[in-house]
């Protein structure tokens, strides 16, 4: 495994820095590393880049602070909360199959690169596990459809579900510029408006993005070596949708309609 996160595992289809400061409304440059030889799907910024910045309201600052704190948490297999979240993900994905251990060959069924999922969280941290669990809990049908590749005319060699999910978390963090002191893109500024109104906005946008990525995958008749191309197309489409004038909440995004519960 190299410094950028490891080797790519093709999956043959089976049939089946912000200032820390909370008034969010609660509701209920590293590199993308999908695999060896696959470059980052996200544009890399430089210190000299001249980009605008957007002032935040106190509420937006506090909500962004909370999200940044989540992003900063690395997955730690020694923490009971993290262990339980991983078990919960397994139970959501395979409710009728008992997990034999947090390190097990069984994890490959979900699209992790090896028998220990903790090695794959390097690219996304604990929030990438939270995103997957949110997806499984709130949109179980779409989650299962993507896990088992149930929709469309699929490639013989498919993207690995779980590792793709971690990459989507990473892509969104970069696209929304969530490690900057304040947004430097209109897309990032628009997202913070949604975040101040819905504390789960990042998790919801993750679900929308995952489903959109799979939709693009099918439309492009992609195979595993096309993953980066599909991710770039997904990012462009998502940015366009976030900037539509009539979007007042994430549920208004055209791609939200792809999700089913």
CB 112 within 8 A of CB 120: yes
Helix (H) or strand (E) holding 157: strand 157-158
CA distance 38 to 225: 8
pLDDT of residue 52: 67
Count, residues in the chain: 261
What does the angle CA 78 – CA 66 – CA 90 come to, to the nearest 5 degrees?
40
What is the pLDDT at residue 232? 97
| Six token digits for residue 216 | 């693009």
The rounded distance, in Å, linking the Cα atoms of 216 and 74 is 30
The per-residue pLDDT for 203 is 98
Predicted local confidence at residue 51, as pLDDT: 57
What percentage of the chain exceeds 70 in pLDDT?
Answer: 80
pLDDT tens, position by position, 56-95: 889 899 999 999 999 999 999 999 999 999 999 999 999 9
pLDDT in tens, 140-171: 999 999 999 999 999 888 999 999 999 999 99
Which tens digits make up the pLDDT trace of 174-231? 999 999 988 999 999 999 999 999 999 999 999 999 999 999 999 999 998 999 999 9
Half-sphere exposure of 183 (CA within 13 A, CB side): 19
Alpha-helix residue ranges (DSSP H) falling in the chain:
58-71, 80-93, 126-138, 140-147, 161-175, 186-197, 201-219, 227-242
């Amino acid at each position: 495994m190299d410094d950028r996160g490891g080797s790519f595992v093709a999956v043959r289809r089976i049939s089946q820095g912000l200032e820390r400061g909370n008034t969010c409304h609660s509701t209920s440059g590293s590199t993308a590393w999908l695999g060896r030889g696959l470059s980052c799907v996200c544009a890399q910024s430089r210190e000299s880049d001249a980009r605008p910045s957007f002032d935040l309201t106190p509420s937006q600052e506090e909500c962004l602070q909370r999200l940044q704190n989540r992003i900063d948490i690395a997955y730690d297999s020694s923490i009971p909360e993290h262990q339980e979240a991983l078990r919960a993900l397994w139970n959501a994905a395979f409710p009728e199959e008992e997990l034999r251990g947090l390190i097990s060959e069984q994890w490959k069924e979900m699209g992790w690169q090896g028998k220990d999922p903790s090695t794959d969280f390097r690219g996304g941290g604990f929030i990438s596990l939270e995103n997957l669990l949110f997806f499984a809990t709130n949109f179980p049908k779409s989650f299962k459809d993507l896990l088992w590749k149930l929709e469309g005319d699929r490639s013989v060699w498919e993207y690995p579900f779980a590792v793709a999910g971690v990459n989507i978390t990473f892509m969104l963090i970069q696209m929304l510029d969530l490690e900057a002191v304040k947004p430097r893109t209109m897309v990032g500024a628009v997202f913070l408006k949604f975040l101040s109104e819905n504390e789960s906005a990042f998790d919801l946008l993750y679900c929308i993005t995952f489903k959109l990525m799979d939709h693009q995958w099918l439309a492009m008749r992609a195979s595993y070596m096309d993953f980066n191309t599909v991710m770039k197309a997904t990012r462009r489409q998502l940015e366009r949708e976030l900037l539509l004038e009539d979007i007042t909440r994430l549920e208004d995004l055209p791609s939200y309609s792809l999700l089913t519960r």
